[in-house]
Amino acid sequence: MISEQFLELQGYLKEFKNQSAEIQRRADGSYLVTIKGLDLPAGWNPRKVDILFIAPPGYPAAKPDCFWVSPPVRLSNGAIPQSANEGTPLPYDVPPGRPMTWFSWHLQMWDPNRSRLEHYYRAIVQRLNPPR
């Protein structure tokens, strides 16, 4: 199921966003999804980042939770974004310790029968606009 959803996400990104995505199965049974080259709106520094999130073991019954951006971001005034920090690493990251900002951000609605990777990506983009 996740491979089918990932192909849908790739198609959406290529057709509508001029972006690419990668997926990596991890030792714990989760999948790391990386979306390359998101253009952030004015108010962020830097203005282009990669988005990383984890589809946990048991996905889609287990919903994605939180996300990371690389390189680290700040608001244009230099402040750390709301509900974010730079001290929370991506679990099992290779290479470990790469610079990122972690967003402690949680979906309120997730229907494992209808929600998809693309929906989670769109929700992340909504979190990042407006900058806060």
pTM (predicted TM-score): 0.94
Is there a contact between 46 and 37 (Cβ–Cβ < 8 Å)? no
pLDDT by residue, tens only, the chain of 132 residues: 899 999 999 999 999 999 999 999 999 999 999 999 999 999 999 999 999 999 999 999 999 999 999 999 999 999 999 999 998 999 888 777 789 999 998 888 899 999 999 999 999 999 999 999
- What does the alpha-carbon distance between residue 67 and residue 122 come to, in Å, rounded to a whole number? 12
pLDDT of 6: 97
Listed by start position, the domains of the chain span 2-127
pLDDT of 98: 86
- What does the alpha-carbon distance between residue 39 and residue 41 come to, in Å, rounded to a whole number? 7
